[in-house]
């Protein structure tokens, strides 16, 4: 059951926002992602659920004792904990190109608006900045939420589509 589409699907909003100045777009992106995250946490305790990502299938799955939520997945980038560097998904050979559309939307926005950090392959980055990039990607790509999870020595920042929720035992 997809319960988020009617609340958050606004296909024309992302394209209209792509013309906003960067500071305004960032504020709107942060606020929108905060609302989406609060909704996901209220409904299926996103922050407490276990998660897995299948890059071949392009899917993220959140699981708790009561439910399982599945959604399409986009990878935005990673922060390597060892040196604090960000690597955009589109610059990472281990990420399938089909999972980089939201990251590519940020790069296109950066090229259009002169934000060079959005087209730089790798650079120093804080976790807060990683969340900013992910919020922008969620907004520009029309995502329904975002998640950051550990993968070895890296933090992986992802956006996801409208979750489909089922009983955990199915």
Q: Is the pLDDT of residue 28 over 90?
A: yes
Which region, left, alpha or beta, applies to residue 48 given φ > 0 means left and ψ of -120 to 50 means alpha?
alpha
pLDDT band at 30 (very low <50, low <70, confident <90, very high): very high
Q: Closest Cα to residue 69, out of 54, 42, 50?
A: 50
CA–CA dist 97, 106 (Å, integer): 15
The Cα-based distances of 16 to 8, 105, 109, 140 in angstroms read 15, 13, 12, 9
Lowest-pLDDT choice from 25-29, 154-158, 163-167: 163-167
Extents of the domains making up the chain: 5-165
So what's the pLDDT on residue 102? 98
**Average pLDDT, rounded, for the chain:** 90
* pTM for this entry: 0.89
């Amino acid at each position: 059951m997809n319960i988020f589409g009617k609340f958050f699907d606004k296909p024309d909003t992302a394209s209209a926002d792509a013309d906003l100045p960067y500071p305004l777009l960032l504020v709107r992106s942060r606020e929108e992602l905060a609302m989406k995250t609060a909704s996901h946490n209220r409904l299926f305790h996103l922050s407490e659920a276990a998660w897995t990502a299948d890059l071949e299938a392009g899917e993220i799955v959140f699981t708790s004792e009561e439910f399982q939520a599945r959604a399409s997945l986009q990878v935005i980038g990673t922060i390597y904990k060892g040196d604090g560097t960000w690597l955009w998904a589109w610059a990472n050979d281990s990420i399938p190109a089909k999972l980089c559309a939201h990251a590519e939307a940020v790069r296109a926005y950066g090229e259009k608006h002169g934000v060079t950090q959005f087209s730089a392959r790798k650079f120093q980055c804080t976790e807060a900045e990683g969340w900013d990039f992910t919020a922008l990607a969620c907004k520009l790509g029309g995502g329904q939420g975002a998640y950051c999870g550990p993968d070895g020595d890296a933090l992986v920042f992802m956006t996801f589509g409208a979750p489909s929720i089922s009983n955990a035992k199915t």
